[in-house]
Chains A and B, each alone.
Chain A
Amino acid sequence: MRIRAFILAATAALTACGEQQGIAPQRMADAIFAVIEADRAAYTNNVVNRLQNEEGVIKADEHWKDTKALPLPAQMLRMGSERVAEQGAGFNYALLSQWAINSQNKPRTDLERQGLEFIVENPGNNFYGTEKLGDTEYFTAIYPDVAVSPACVSCHNEHVDSPRKDFELGQTMGGVVIRFPL
């Protein structure tokens, strides 16, 4: 009995040693999304919505350099994602939507299409999957991007290139896609 218990314990220990150490991709993606979402909400509410819509101090504008305005929240998110990509941080993220104003930000892969549909049809839920892009296998997580302030809704509903103009506060407008190479 003791010998059997010892063999079982040794096998369990050896198996554990053989497993990859570190944080599971899903847990890591959830943590990264928490940071992205928090920064995004803080910028949208405390900077753009306050200064543009409530206090009328400065506008947020798509061509913010030329108009000496604030970058739009979506542009801020993309600036961050491009910096992360340039640093080779080991993961990528993007803000995508079926109703993107810039068609380059519409879903491009099958998993992106599937995931964006899922998070719109299942509010409050995330979507996880794997896909092969080029020669590399990726873990892909897609999180709902919700209209957190009136600035989000009004801008998208009024933009000349917006394919959807009936967004309401609290609705899912798109998704944040986070990818890790496996």
Chain B
Amino acid sequence: MKNYKFKFWHYGLVVTLIVAALITYNLEASDKSFFLSGETSHGHHQIELACTTCHGDGFAGQDFMQQACLNCHAEELVQANDSHPRKKFLDPRNAGLLAHLDARLCVSCHTEHKPEITHEMGVTLAGDFCVHCHSDIAEDRPSHAGFGFDTCASAGCHNYHDNRFLYEDFLAERIDTPDLLANAQLPLRTLVIEWQKTHPDSRPLTAHDMDMEIESVAPETLTGIRHAWADSTHALTNTNCSSCHVDNQTEFTSAEIVTMCGGCHAEQRETFTQGKHGLRFSSQLPEEFRRTVGAMSPVAAQIAMQPAASTELSCTSCHGAHELDMRFAAVEACLGCHDDEHSRNYRASAHFKAWQSDAAEGVSCAGCHLPREENNGRIAINHNQNHNLQPNEKMLPVCLSCHGVEFSVAVLADERQLKSNFRSPVSKGHDTFNLIRDRIARIKTNK
């Protein structure tokens, strides 16, 4: 055989072909991770490989990306009564302002894959971004003269999007309330009561009504399941085994659980898939991503989690498959995974003491982070636990169920209080009330 002499460019060609093959395989058949242009922000990291959701075919333009943001976030912005909606900036008289900061596009302030410049809430601008349009604020509000523009949105006074609970009339209405209200009480859940009203003739099922027997399950296990189910709201609301175990199916993937529960609990599934717990099951994501990537797990979280926590997140991770223990779901389920300072301090807090003494009047993790929202007279649980987290003034409606507004605003703006789970001494109110106290008096006089 002829002794063929390889030249340098031959080696170069082979290496190039191998690299090209690897890249092509990653793009077309694998997870596309080679194409991540930088670490993804905390809001998107768990869906970072659903590239086409935001980038389309890779050549999608600005309009596609803007619509991608809106596909997931538009509804929340409407709910927030967005103070800076895109439509406010479409008037050509804003041309001068838009030359500094194009507020018509989400990515002007929230650029992805830029960890080195990403701040809280995924903002990738310097903290004094308000100055671009409000540099003359001291002319209207002399009390604001000398304030740094990096404090507008970081001191608990204003937010760019959501100011529903920070505007003067709202504060004026509530300013004289005490730190702890006499009738402190979170809204009571009404879904079971509503169901009973619409099914007046229905009687609760008992352990004897169970409509499924499984030979493969040990008798003692089955007895435990039988009693757990019989004590649950499923038995109370006439939901028997076969409602979930269609065709005697006993093993379910997390995706199947979320789909199945959502069959009856559509609102809960919708809000669950909007938060980080269930985001990977969002209907906004490509079917292929949902099928291949699977459920979120504490292992993939960016915040502190218990080392042993590795379960997949679905409805049953918190509620259990049969017992539906709401007390467990509201505290133990959360603390089984979350291991940050705020979570670790909860069991030493006044909120937990109240929870231990009376679950109806106490405050659990879920009481604050899965807020009870009124809709047409019904109180339902919002299962998006990120809904009122950032900016944390969105938590105010929950706090105000039990506390005065000045106390609540001050506590939410105090990082020490958040970390200690509100066990630090409350030294003083929030400066925002000192700034507007005389204005509030005038507003009240004009009412």
Contact = CB atoms under 8 A, between A and B. Distances in A.
B88 A179 contact: no
A83 B164 CA distance: 22
B140 interface: yes
A164 interface: no
Interface string A107-142: 011001000000000000000000001101010000
A160 interface: yes
Contacts of A92: 90-92
B439 A82 contact: no
Contact of A133 (B86, B95, B139, B167): B95
Contacts of B90: 82, 85-86, 92
Given A85-B87, A103-B140, A108 B96 contact: yes
Interface string B37-49: 0000000000000
Given A62-B169, A158-B446, A160-B442, A82 B87 contact: yes
B20 interface: no
Interface residues of A, number: 26
A89 to B, nearest CB: 10
Given A63-B167, A134-B99, A160-B442, A109 B91 contact: no
A138 B446 contact: no
Contacts of B136: 103
A86 B87 contact: yes
Contacts, number: 55
Interface in B259-306: none
B81 interface: yes
A68 interface: no
A136 B92 contact: yes
Q: Chain A's interface: helix, strand, loop or mixed, by majority?
A: mixed
Nearest to B140: A103
Nearest to A161: B140
B170 interface: yes
B100 to A, nearest CB: 12
Nearest to A138: B92
A179 B92 contact: yes
Interface of A: 62-63, 65-66, 81-83, 85-86, 92, 94, 103, 108-109, 112, 133-134, 136, 138, 158-161, 177, 179, 181
Going nearest first, the 3 A-B pairs with the smallest beta carbon separation are: A134-B95, A85-B90, A82-B87
Given A63-B170, A103-B139, A133-B96, 17 more contacts: A82-B87, A83-B87, A86-B87, A94-B91, A94-B93, A112-B93, A133-B92, A134-B98, A134-B99, A136-B95, A138-B92, A159-B446, A160-B439, A160-B442, A160-B446, A179-B91, A179-B93
